[in-house]
Amino acid sequence: MARAKLNRRSFFKLVGATLTGAALPQPLIAAARGNRPLPAEDTVADSFVPLRRGRVLTSSVNVWDAIETPHNLVKRIPRNGILLLGEEVEVPGTGNAYNHKWYRTRGGWVHSGWVQPMEFHGPPTIYTDIGRTGSFWIEVIEPSTTTRKGPSFLAERSYDFIYGTVYFATDVHTDETGTVWYNTQDEYSDADLGIAPTNHWVQAEHVRRIHESEFTAIRPWVTDKRIEVDRGAQLLTCYEGDTVVLQTKVATGASFTLAGGGVASFATPEGEHQVILKMPSRHMRAIEAERNTDAWFDLPGVPWNTFFTYEGIAIHGTYWHNDFGIVRSHGCVNVPIQVAKFIYRWTLPTAPYNDDFVRADVTGMASTHINVA
């Protein structure tokens, strides 16, 4: 590895704009769909205590009157439908062979696999000025919000930004209706297709500013840190010495059918690795040849990326599925968003708030080791 020569441009060239990065979104593609009012489902029933919301990620999910069979279908919630979620439970032998997690919801129980959990958020602080630093990080707090190519509802639609995704805001504008918009930077580019880095404007009321404290490194004085990824068990474990500090189910690389019917393996590479780069946000997209195949994805704002190979393999947050414990990705290690955020803050090198491209491949830099078996 030419360890001292990595820069932003060379890394993006090496990783092919992170072509191996994301999981198949079954078949969720971040296209403009617009915001929708919450359905009547999002109300409080007498004996049900809502703890958070959930967004349906597949064509539909079933709500059952009980977890274990025999059980009866209560209702079916379509894609992008919003549920209130209560307690979560693990019931062995239910759901599927690898994921036994269920959420209580109004009227019954829903399996977790294709429901994105979303925390409740109050109205965010709206900033009408970008401030002296000229930028800040934001996170989407609505199920989805349609961005625009300019700071106006009259501007052409762009991507939908999805709950939990993270972006770098570089400008603020108040339109003729009084709506405040943040301009977000999108570094994705493809010279062969004529795609240049661009910007997307998002309504300020649909995001929250990420506080600098949320980037604070977790126990940076501990240098004996390592991550073990067990592909057979689909399990990731963080260690400090011999002490387990975090363990979670993951989704590592799978195989996909390509154009022409061929099958390609995107298995997460085994072996000893280490953190080489950290980015709070990354737009991940498949190569154009994979459009209209089950290998296609186009996912802006993938949050909390900890890269460990020069081919663009990373541990990162996941907003297009919640079904961990089985191979599913294009090579990366998919984890829940809050887990990815912990790993981003916990691994070495530390990543300060004002740095969106934290290199770890320089001589003398402490870097957390990642073993994939």
C-beta of residue 140 within 8 angstroms of C-beta of residue 169 = no
**pTM for the full predicted model:** 0.90
Cis peptide leading into residue 349 (ω within 30°): yes
C-beta of residue 187 within 8 angstroms of C-beta of residue 171 = no
Residues 330, 184, 299: CA angle, nearest 5 degrees: 15
Domain ranges of the chain: 3-28+214-372
Query: What letter would DSSP give residue 306?
Result: E
In the structure encoding, which two tokens stand for residue 210, read together? 């990420």
Distance from C-alpha of 160 to C-alpha of 119, rounded to nearest angstrom: 19
Q: How many residues does the chain have?
A: 373
Phi first, then psi, for residue 105 (nearest 5°) are -140, 175
Helix segments in the chain, DSSP class H = 8-15, 337-346
Phi first, then psi, for residue 13 (nearest 5°) are -70, -45
- All residues at 6 or more sequence positions from 366 whose CB lies less than 8 Å from its CB, including other chains: 223, 348, 349
Distance from C-alpha of 252 to C-alpha of 311, rounded to nearest angstrom: 15
Nearest to 86 by CA among 69, 68, 107, 58: 107
Beta-bridged to residue 83, according to DSSP, are: 54
Lookup result for tokens 């704009």: 17
Q: What pLDDT is recorded for position 5?
A: 45
C-beta of residue 321 within 8 angstroms of C-beta of residue 26 = yes
C-beta of residue 353 within 8 angstroms of C-beta of residue 135 = no
For domain 3-28+214-372, the question of CATH label 2.40.440.10 is answered with: yes
C-beta of residue 143 within 8 angstroms of C-beta of residue 319 = no
Q: What pLDDT is recorded for position 3?
A: 38
C-beta of residue 299 within 8 angstroms of C-beta of residue 332 = no
Cis peptide leading into residue 300 (ω within 30°): no
Residue-wise pLDDT for 85-115, tens only, equals 999 999 999 999 999 999 999 999 999 999 9
In the structure encoding, which two tokens stand for residue 197, read together? 């880095």
Residues of the chain with pLDDT under 50: 1-5, 17-40, 42-43
In the structure encoding, which two tokens stand for residue 259, read together? 């154009």
In the structure encoding, which two tokens stand for residue 369, read together? 């080791």
- All residues at 6 or more sequence positions from 95 whose CB lies less than 8 Å from its CB, including other chains: 101, 102, 111, 112, 113
Distance from C-alpha of 227 to C-alpha of 372, rounded to nearest angstrom: 8
Helix or strand run (H / E) with residue 189 = none
Distance from C-alpha of 121 to C-alpha of 71, rounded to nearest angstrom: 33
Beta-bridged to residue 108, according to DSSP, are: 105
3-state secondary structure of 76: strand
Measured over the CA atoms of residue 16, residue 17, residue 21 and residue 23, the dihedral's sign is negative
Distance from C-alpha of 2 to C-alpha of 11, rounded to nearest angstrom: 11
Residue-wise pLDDT for 249-289, tens only, equals 999 999 888 777 788 899 999 999 999 999 999 999 988 88
Distance from C-alpha of 273 to C-alpha of 332, rounded to nearest angstrom: 13
- Count CB-CB contacts under 10 A for residue 108: 18
- Residue 45's alpha-carbon distances to 35, 41, 105, 122, 129, in angstroms, are 25, 9, 10, 21, 41
